[in-house]
Structure 1
Amino acid sequence: MNLHQANILIVDDDKDVLTAVRFLLKMEAKTVLTETNPENIHKLIMTNDIDIVMLDMNFRSSINTGNEGLFWLKEIKKWKPAQSVIMITAYADIDLAIKSLKEGAADFIVKPWHNENLINLLTETLYKQTSPEIKEKINERKTDVKIIGASESMQLLFHKLQKIAPTDANILILGENGTGKDLVARYIYQLSLRRNYPYIKVDVGSLTETLFESELFGHKKGAFTDAREDRTGLIEAADKGTLFLDEIGNITLQQQAKLLTVLQNREVTRLGANAPTPVDIRLLSATNLPLRELANETHFRRDLIYRINTVEITVPPLRERGEDIILLAEHFLEIYEKKYFKQKFRLSDSAKKKLMLYHYPGNVRELQYTIERGVIMSDSNVLKAEDITFSPMEQPEENNQPIPTHNLEDLERTAIEQVIQKHNGNISQAAKELGLTRGALYRRLEKYGL
């Protein structure tokens, strides 16, 4: 059971407390009952399906002065032995509150409390009531990251995520662009034992050599020209939490060596500093490169692969996920009909057929933008095949190319364009694949006006 399905009874003679709790839980719980007189508890819990009783330790009535809460707790347990009771106490009553746990209270909370703490306590108490079978299912979904997928390939992915998320293993997430590697990383983090500590995401592929060190390792004041103050690096900021390095396949061999040193020694040295700082992080990494290409030692250090890749998982491309395409399309319809203040949308049969027949080179991201365009442009609340247009950016270039030429310069220009696009504009990687130096590639770019 979750809190939105729960019936809560609060018993306290302080009307201000009752008002505050009722106002807080109004949008969180199914029903909120309040009572100032503990004499009425029996009637309330026997005539209502109460999931949790919040019970004050002290009332102004003179029943067992100083122990009124314990008295009523025992009475409740006589009437309904399985009833969950949370005791409300002041700082001076901590010993009594601990005693109440021995008498069968589910937990206690000290007033004044933080609202977030109370919500968490109620949620945890409801969770403790749940049967082991249901608990297992709740554990499988204890995250606000929504990953949609009923296909066999996604079920296998979920199964693997459930196994590896609660461990401290470093994980390498593989998959094509647009498959949702970022979402998977956050899903792992939220199911991990480090979920209450920082989650830091870094797109390392976009960092220059200089930025790579200052951003990840931090720097001391005066370490370089613009270092006007001390700065904590992102690795240090992730201490005790999770560090997600996106597009790790795009970093240079020199950057790889520096990252490897940090992972091996579990300490980081800021630029301009002499002493290292110990760090305790869990590392998640992602790349769109196939593992066999990543394992090429001219491109990526094998010792670093072993460090970042205790377990690797592959997010399947959308074209291999079958009916997930329709599930995702309907999910995006709900999002964009609200965003653009449209009526409730549905997919026509012709739209579903068109969606299912497409190959999605841009994967889930391409489907998302396709549905968004359809919602904006559609003249009705039924999305038809003609409302669905796929991005020309993702279409194979050869479909729109003129008849191939045998001119060597034209062939060279085309090869350079394709390789640079493949590596998202990364000149170093493109030069490597073409068998050129960076300087030679730049000269050719200038020659062809690219």
Structure 2
Amino acid sequence: MDGQADIRAALALVLQAEGYETAGAASPAEAALLLDAGGFDAMLLDLNFHADTTSGEEGLRLLASVVAVRPGLPIVVLTGWGSVELAVRALRAGAADFLEKPWENTRLLTVLRSQLARARAQRTVGSLTSAASAGAILGTSPPMRAVLAIVAKIAPADVPVLITGESGTGKGLIARHIAQVSGRRDKPFVTLDLGSVPETLVEAELFGHARGAFTDAKAERIGRFEIADGGVLFLDEIGNASLATQARLLSVLEDGLVTRVGESRPRRVDVRVIAATNADLGALITAGRFRQDLLFRLNTVEISLPALRERGDDILVLAAHSLETAARKHRRPVTGFAPDALAALAAYPWPGNVRELSHVIERAVLLAEAGTVRAGDLRLVEPTTAPLERMTLDQAERYLIQRAMVEAAARRLGLSRSAFYRRLATLRT
């Protein structure tokens, strides 16, 4: 939203050309009405609505109210009256990013895509949390109990943490949970996905830059380390960092000093770093693509998240919670799973982990024709190659037995395995 009609029109043209649907608001009251109507995935917010005001207070108040009502909505602050101090206030109040007018279309779209992708990922792993207890992690399987026992011990300790695990296991959620139960719970929690930022911009994002530091540096910019001062900085996909970025990260972790690109004066920060990766950092070290000394600094404590296929009955617990969440979100009268759906959920290897489970359940809730999700509504397509090499012996045995039972039943009926699942989905309970 922006107080000037021409600015709103220009933004709409840029965004609509990329396929986004837009709606504009000229005041906080109009913005509130639009948000109440729902259906928005992100918000571009000007901090000043009148040409004669430059304090940003009106925009900051709206920002705070939107964050309180829609905490998961990415808000990118866009203003021509920006300053480092105002940027810090906006970002600490809950804004996802901060851009100055006149904006650069490429930069604007890059930031927006990144924030939308991050919001989608957060929503899909949201099945890990209990709606009734903010910050509580769903799951009672032995692997998850072990993870939560480690989290309980190390969260109060002000040390770096490295979270490893396959994509979609909820690494970002565990990072936020650690921050929420630590002594920094009331301080900023700042994130940067190193896999979504172009390499040329990573150091400016992390450490900030001075005006004129490079061709497109038209104004000074504060980095994520300074924004997170006193709080937690979550660096996702740390394995994507270049060796040059790794060297600078190591320096900050060692001495607590950051230097903006284009400046020589260091600034002291107090930041707890939590990093995450789905890469094998040991293999990257062997290949000369990751610094061993940085790994030692990052993994004072390492938490390895189990894959969903390793979590046994947690699959059905998470599925039930995802169903409840999706049914409420889409106002669908779906209340449970048919036996064939429960069997399919338990037998599927879930290569995409919790993120895949959340997508599958949400789609099934939309497709279900009755109040119960059936196996056919799940539309599970078994991977062409089962991930046996990534399973324990017990897990592989369980998977192969389940698959053999399905194949035997299908063969006895003269059906293919996929046809068997389709027939199973038509059974009435």
Q: Is TM-score (shorter-chain normalized) higher than 0.5?
A: yes
Distance 2:197 2:365 in 1: 36
Aligned to 2:235: 245
Counterpart residue identity of residue 164, structure 2 = L
Superposed CA RMSD in Å reads 2.1
Distance 2:384 2:250 in 1: 38
1:213 to 189, 203, 213: 203
Work out the percentage of aligned pairs sharing the same amino acid: 46
Counterpart residue identity of residue 144, structure 2 = M
Spell out the pairing of 1:17-416 with structure 2 (5 A cutoff).
144-296=134-286, 298-390=288-380, 395-396=383-384
Q: CA deviation at 1:347?
A: 0.9
Higher RCO structure, 1 or 2 (CA under 8 Å, sep 6+): 2
Distance 2:341 2:136 in 1: 24
Distance 1:344 1:218 in 2: 48
Kindly indicate whether the alpha-carbon contact (under 8 Å) linking 1:142 and 1:191 is maintained by their aligned counterparts in 2: no
Secondary structure in structure 2 of the residue aligned to 1:205 = coil
Kindly indicate whether the alpha-carbon contact (under 8 Å) linking 1:317 and 1:363 is maintained by their aligned counterparts in 2: yes
Q: CA deviation at 1:306?
A: 0.6
Q: CA deviation at 1:307?
A: 0.7
Secondary structure in structure 1 of the residue aligned to 2:276 = strand
The one-character-per-residue Cα deviations of 1:185-228 (angstroms, maximum 9, x if unpaired) are 00000011011111001001222332011111101112122222
Q: 1:271 to 1:200 in 2, by over 3 A?
A: same
Larger radius of gyration: 1
Counterpart residue identity of residue 185, structure 2 = R
Kindly indicate whether the alpha-carbon contact (under 8 Å) linking 2:334 and 2:365 is maintained by their aligned counterparts in 1: no
Q: 1:360 to 1:142 in 2, by over 3 A?
A: closer
Distance 2:283 2:378 in 1: 35
Distance 2:257 2:374 in 1: 56
Kindly indicate whether the alpha-carbon contact (under 8 Å) linking 1:218 and 1:231 is maintained by their aligned counterparts in 2: yes
Aligned residues: 257
Long gaps (5+) in structure 2: 1-130, 388-429
Distance 2:133 2:177 in 1: 7
Kindly indicate whether the alpha-carbon contact (under 8 Å) linking 2:335 and 2:372 is maintained by their aligned counterparts in 1: yes
Q: 1:297 to 1:279 in 2, by over 3 A?
A: farther
Distance 2:221 2:186 in 1: 23
Secondary structure in structure 1 of the residue aligned to 2:187 = coil
Kindly indicate whether the alpha-carbon contact (under 8 Å) linking 1:222 and 1:228 is maintained by their aligned counterparts in 2: yes
TM superposition outliers: structure 1 runs of 4+ over 3 Å: 396-399
Distance 1:142 1:275 in 2: 47
Q: CA deviation at 1:268?
A: 0.4
Long gaps (5+) in structure 1: 1-140, 400-450
Kindly indicate whether the alpha-carbon contact (under 8 Å) linking 1:242 and 1:282 is maintained by their aligned counterparts in 2: yes
Q: CA deviation at 1:299?
A: 1.9
Q: 1:214 to 1:163 in 2, by over 3 A?
A: same
Kindly indicate whether the alpha-carbon contact (under 8 Å) linking 1:199 and 1:244 is maintained by their aligned counterparts in 2: yes
Q: TM-score, normalised by structure 2?
A: 0.57
Q: TM-score, normalised by structure 1?
A: 0.55
Q: CA deviation at 1:142?
A: 12
